[in-house]
Amino acid sequence: MDEATFATWSLRICLSGLILFLVFIVYDLGKKSQAGKWGMFVLFLVLGLGVLGFLGKEILIGFLIK
């Protein structure tokens, strides 16, 4: 396995783990602060938009390179 392949797989695996950990952190933060349904929705919406922005950037870069 060359370095580029290892870096690609490492990024995908570690970033997925980080995103799952962030979901847990936001959920725990919402529960401890008693945010309610609307507060939890806003917290997860903001986290989801950040993740979608990152994924959209990667997809756009993939299309532009090909």
Interatomic CA distance for residues 48 and 39, integer angstroms: 14
pTM: 0.70
Q: What average pLDDT score do residues 15-19 get?
A: 88
The whole-number pLDDT of residue 24 equals 94
The whole-number pLDDT of residue 54 equals 84
Domain boundaries, the chain: 3-65
Cβ-Cβ contacts under 8 Å for 51 (sequence gap 6 or more):
19
Q: What average pLDDT score do residues 50-58 get?
A: 87
Residue 19 has pLDDT above 90, yes or no: no
